[in-house]
Structure 1
């Protein structure tokens, strides 16, 4: 199994989307690359903590790959905004790809460079080493499963039926 951490605005929708991507075996929401370890949701929202709301995506490399996951990621985010996705505004809603190895860094940077060739607007998604990922509180995990009518800025219908995970 491999993993990547993706920050694409409110983590509820990012997790809900990736949970059903073919080849994804697990997802968890949490706080990535902030100024200290184990912040609370309140600290992230009030600005004391500088973390991104992010989703840990664990995947089976025999069924999918990082390029495919990045194609999905860019389908659900606005790659041109800074500290904003949908109606959510703040540093915690920045977009980022947080990698754990040099191979994933190169894949992410090459992917963005290819997209940028055909995009007149600057792509502002950061690609950074994952310094730390702290799990969010339990009530945030699988939030949209627990509250199907909960807020989500992501169109979960973008995941086509043939792309959905058949193992879950």
Structure 2
């Protein structure tokens, strides 16, 4: 079985994790929340929240491409958050909440750009999602992992938009 990986930034990583696990449980080999796209080494949640590190809160996925197409993951990503708001999702504001796809292969990059173009007519406004090569992934603190599973009443601003 071959595995592929991708990281999605869609605002708060708690909801991103919840939505992807619920939708793609059979296709996911591993899921973790953490930080990517910044400049400092081993940032903490507090560091990232300052906006000084440049990291985004992301969901890191290892998935089975024979179970789900990359394009389906990307389309779902666009559906479950607002890709037209710069550095904001709901009440969450700051660069750490930006919309981003961190790809691991050139094929993923091309597919992400194609899906972004294809869905642009389904959203109001310009899509501001960053599509960038994956950088080092830093796993978030333990209490962030499966946060909404462990705290069912926790804050989540994600919803399916179409």
Establish whether TM, by shorter chain, passes 0.5. yes
SS of match in other structure, 1:44: helix
Aligned equivalents of 2:113, 2:16: Cα separation in 1 = 20
Which residue of 40, 44, 49 corresponds with 2:53? 49
Q: CA, structure 1 residues 139+119, in 2 after alignment: closer, same or farther (shift >3 Å)?
A: closer
Correspondence 1:83-162 to 2 at 5 A: 83-116=87-120, 121-155=125-159, 158=160
Q: Determine whether 1:24 maps to 2:28.
A: yes
Tell me the residue number matched to 2:10: 8
Aligned equivalents of 2:122, 2:146: Cα separation in 1 = 35
Aligned equivalents of 1:4, 1:122: Cα separation in 2 = 23
Tell me the residue number matched to 1:34: 38
Tell me the residue number matched to 1:166: none
**TM-score in terms of structure 2 length:** 0.91
**TM-score in terms of structure 1 length:** 0.88
Given that 2:84 and 2:124 are in contact with CA atoms closer than 8 Å, whether structure 1 keeps it comes out as no
Given that 2:102 and 2:134 are in contact with CA atoms closer than 8 Å, whether structure 1 keeps it comes out as yes
Aligned equivalents of 1:118, 1:40: Cα separation in 2 = 36
Note the alpha carbon deviations across 1:27-67, whole angstroms, 9 max, x for none. 10000110112101001112232100000012111110111
| Equivalent residues, number | 156
Note the alpha carbon deviations across 1:72-123, whole angstroms, 9 max, x for none. 1111111111000111000100000000110100000111122235656211
SS of match in other structure, 2:23: coil
Stretches of structure 1 that go unaligned for 5 or more consecutive residues are 159-168
Q: Determine whether 1:65 maps to 2:58.
A: no
Q: CA, structure 1 residues 8+118, in 2 after alignment: closer, same or farther (shift >3 Å)?
A: closer
SS of match in other structure, 2:33: strand
C-alpha deviation, 1:126, in angstroms: 0.8
